[in-house]
Structure 1
Amino acid sequence: MTIEVSQLTDYLDELLKVRQIKDFCPNGLQVAGKSHVKRIMTGVTASQALVDAAVAADVDALLVHHGYFWKNEHQPIVGMKKRRIKALLEADINLIAYHLPLDAHPSLGNNAQLAKLMNWSIDGTANPSDPGNVLMLGHVEQPYTSEQLADALIEKLNRDLTCYVPCQQPIRRLAWCTGGGQGFIDEAVALGVDAFITGEVSEQTVHSAREQGIAFFAAGHHATERYGAKALGEHLEQQFNLDVSFVDIDNPA
């Protein structure tokens, strides 16, 4: 089956509540290609390697979490940006990207999919009235020790942790934000959780975790965000009978 690009992006915009969420980049269609889509490749970031994979696979659309045209980035289309966009235009491939809307979706989003992978129960977000809130809350039936949660993250994500700060208490209540969510640690503490999991770490994050007695885990920006785009592609495959593949371009960050 094929679908018009406009129909596909209208559906995704509605599904992911794009108009209700403020973001740092345009969400939806970023580079126009073929008018109809049958084959889609999904991935985390529209890097040159992923663009090249999409060209080689002769897909009609590339659907990612990290696209282009970020706020405050260098605007001219030169160098790396030119090469990426030129490759997409020459192959007539649509680039479709969803950033915060894909983080925040309650079932297909990166946060929800990380919980599914880790078998955490989701209790909601820090601000349920905000569809763009990306700090998710949950719990586990059987408490972890800090070491057990670290081991579980390493096993499920198949990578070492970037940073790990243990705590003394058993871990029952969790907060997490995939990707670069380390700035939410103090909000997580205020919500009374035992552990906070994200992708990245800043220098002050470690001090905050130590001094406030919360376990902290930086499990990798890319590693924690591999699952939203994949789940969204699988949803489209079922919904519209499209040919969808997921390609994971390794990234240690």
Structure 2
Amino acid sequence: MEQQTVDRNELDAYLAQALNIARFRDYCPNGLQVEGCARIASIVTGVTASLALVEAAVAAGADALLVHHGYFWRGEDARIVGVKHRRISKLLQHELNLFAYHLPLDMHPELGNNAQLAARLGLQAEARFGEDDIGWLGRAGAGINTVGDLARLVEAALGRAPQVIGDPLQPLGRIGWCTGAAQNYLSDAIAAGAGAYLSGEISEPTVHLAREAGVAYLACGHHATERYGVQALGEHLAQRFGITHQFIDIPNPV
């Protein structure tokens, strides 16, 4: 059977609508960032468009690479030199399209990072908090009663032990979560009534705020918490357009 393809611009337009990218004031352009071949039969997804991921996508024979962390971030050096040149020249050399979606992928109610992390941890969402309702608030499933229970669940689901600030024996109430570098939303989670907060990264002030507020903080890894939105989105595109999809994980300890 002949492999199905989708037009690059049709895919770009579909993703813009499906992820509602016009809604967001983001730190980077969302959508097609580097133009490649006109028709796409195979897509690779990954967290960050590092050179290692670009090379892996080329080796896999992909026509498009879809990531959460792409290029052209606000405030970065605009010149195409050094590392940026090596990445982009590899994309152009192989006519590999690069699509990137940052906040729109974090916040999508079904395919987004927060939604997909909740699904893997069995968290039941009840409310939102923070700027543009970026954070999620809810409760753990049956059998997850303490901070220690939640930490063990995270380790089993994500394959890495979280860094925990707080008493493992502390009973769980409502849980706030926001993937990636969302430690600055801890105050919003506390104001929303969270007794524990789960994110990707942790900063020095986060420790003191969590301790003084009596709220447990679980730093579960920026990369580890944001592996699932792109996978869900890639599978969605494969089903809708009949193209092939492969997720490639480039491990990152952060």
- TM-score tier (shorter): over 0.9
> Hey, what's the Cα distance between the residues in 2 that align with 1:213 and 1:187?
14
Q: Determine if contact 1:163/1:201 at 8 Å carries over to the other structure.
A: no
What are the Cα deviations for residues 155-214 of structure 1, in whole angstroms up to 9, with x where unaligned?
A: 111012244333764113111110000000011001111110000001010111110011
- Contact (CA 8 Å) 1:66, 1:98: kept in 2 or not? yes
1:74 Cα deviation from its structure 2 partner:
1.2
Whether the 8 Å CA contact 2:183–2:202 is kept in 1: the answer is: yes
Q: Quote the Cα distance in structure 1 between the aligned partners of 2:196 and 2:164.
A: 13
Kept in 2: contact 1:167–1:214 (CA 8 A): no
| 2:235 counterpart letter in structure 1 | E
Q: Deviations over 1:65-87 (max 9, x none)?
A: 00000001111110000000000
Alignment-mate amino acid for residue 221 of structure 2: G
Considering only aligned residues, what root-mean-square deviation do their CA atoms show, in Å?
1.3
The residue that corresponds to 1:144 in the other structure is: 145
1:107 and 2:123 are equivalent in the alignment: no
Q: Distance between the aligned counterparts of 2:19 and 2:117, measured in 1?
A: 17
Percent of aligned pairs sharing the same letter: 49
1:13 and 2:16 correspond: yes
Once the two structures are superposed, the pairs formed by residues 219-238 of structure 1 within 5 Å of their partners are: 219-238=220-239
Letter in 1 for 2:64: A
Q: What does the per-residue CA deviation read over 1:40-60, in whole Å, with 9 as the maximum and x for residues that have no partner? A: 000000001000001111210
Count how many residue pairs are aligned between Structure 1 and Structure 2: 250
Structure 1 segment 39-78 matched on structure 2, within 5 A:
39-78=42-81
Aligned position for 1:22: 25
Quote the Cα distance in structure 2 between the aligned partners of 1:85 and 1:6: 19
| Alpha-carbon distance between aligned partners in 2 of 1:169 and 1:56, rounded to the nearest angstrom | 48
Q: Is the 8 A contact 1:17 1:101 kept in 2?
A: yes
Correspondence 1:86-165 to 2 at 5 A: 86-126=89-129, 132-142=132-142, 143-165=144-166
Name the SS of the counterpart of 1:172 in structure 2: coil
In structure 2, give the amino acid aligned to 1:2.
Answer: T
Question: AA paired with 2:111?
Answer: L
- SS of 1:179's partner is coil
Partner of 1:215: 216
Q: Distance in 2 between matches of 1:211 and 1:242?
A: 51
Post-superposition offset of 1:139 = 1.1
> Residue 241 of structure 1 corresponds to which residue in structure 2?
242
Match of 1:33 among 32, 36, 39: 36
Q: In the alignment, residue 97 of structure 2 is paired with which amino acid? A: N
- Conserved 8 A contact 1:166-1:214: no
TM-score (norm 1): 0.95
Q: Give runs of ≥4 in structure 1 deviating > 4 Å.
A: none
Paired residue for 1:198? 199
Q: Distance in 2 between matches of 1:206 and 1:166?
A: 13
The CA distance in 2 between the partners of 1:206 and 1:154, in whole Å, is 20
Find the residue that maps to 2:174 and give its secondary structure. strand
In 2, Cα distance between the equivalents of 1:125 and 1:21? 16
